[in-house]
Amino acid sequence: MTHASSDSLYHRFFAHPEMVADLLRGFLEPAMLAELDLDHLKRHNTKFTTRKGQRRRSDIAWEIPTRHRSSLFVLLIMEFQSEIDEWMALRVSVYTSLLYQQLVSERKLKAVDGLPPVLPILLYNGEPRWNAATSLRDLIRLPRDSSLWRFQPEIRYYTMDEGGYPKALLEESPALTAIIFRMEHPDNPEAMVRAAQDLTEWFKRHPDGPPVKEMFLELLLAGLDRLEVDPLPAIPDDLQEVVIMLAARVEQWAQDYKQQGRQEGRQEGRQEGRQEGRQEGKAEMLLQLLQERFGLVPEAVRKQVTSANPDDINAWARKIFRADSLQALFQ
């Protein structure tokens, strides 16, 4: 599925209050969830335009009553790029300010009323795993002991990295959105079939659920396309028929995958040797940087670095000069 089609499909999914509530119930921290009344969500029509008339991507904003008799505005930011935006915290800060500006302008809020709380949530479905700064202050170059910190802006966003959740956790989750995550990140055709089976069971248990079955069929077809299943089957309109059809074809797909694996195995073996060499070089360079920045590196940290995957090594390297200590870096 292209970035544009994913963007459109997700906007359609989360135009339904039931889907937003399902997402929050499934993936928001319990303590935060306890403060919200998810039975009375209200869509907020965002019109993010700067004073120069430039249009900003609005994503989706929902107003949610809280247990404190106030309202929380959830700003759902959906990211589908193949590369991580290191400036996301700054973008979130702009979106939040524009939302506040719109609320003041449209509702004519008085200063004595104050501003309602905002919860920015980044919903990310790309690769690799999200590792950009989640706080605006993490992007500001200023020593932590500076007296100027109290004048620096601060905004944080909550990250939902679809591919970062353990597969077992998603399979056990009762959330409908967990099935979306599984269909967006299938390991093989069998995983897609299991997700489709769980989807039909979900709608059997929730016959009055949100009208999103057709959207799931689009997800299913896109997932099979990403897995390079050839030829792609014609997807029926009925979910139960889809599951039956896919289950019947899984055995053939598995044989095709094994044959493809044997053909690619020799080439991958040569590539793995080169990749391992590059990874070891990255780990050694990071250890040298750690020693220069913090002094003697404990043995436990050395083992953690040398056994880490390339994404973690890259993330630590990017944050090394923003961290005050080894402990802060590896948190």
DSSP sequence for 253-268: HHHHHHHHHHHHHHHH
- Asked if 306 and 281 count as a contact pair (C-beta separation under 8 A), the reply is no
Instruction: Return the top range by mean pLDDT from 58-67, 169-178, 314-323.
Output: 169-178
- Asked if 14 and 60 count as a contact pair (C-beta separation under 8 A), the reply is yes
- Name the more confident of 197 and 135: 135
The pLDDT assigned to 323 comes to 72
240: Cβ contacts below 8 Å, ≥ 6 apart: 200
- Asked if 241 and 196 count as a contact pair (C-beta separation under 8 A), the reply is no
Instruction: Give the range among 124-133, 137-146, 241-250 with minimum mean pLDDT.
Output: 241-250
pLDDT digits (tens, 9 = 90+) for 176-195: 999 999 999 888 878 888 88
Q: Where are the domains of the chain?
A: 3-140+150-164, 180-262, 280-331
How many C-beta atoms lie closer than 10 Å to residue 97's C-beta?
A: 14
The pLDDT assigned to 39 comes to 94
How many C-beta atoms lie closer than 10 Å to residue 20's C-beta?
A: 23
The pLDDT assigned to 20 comes to 97
* pTM assigned to the model: 0.71
Q: Which residues of 233-266 are buried (b: 16+ CB within 10 A; e: fewer)?
A: eebeeebeebbebbeeeeeebeeebeeeeeeeee
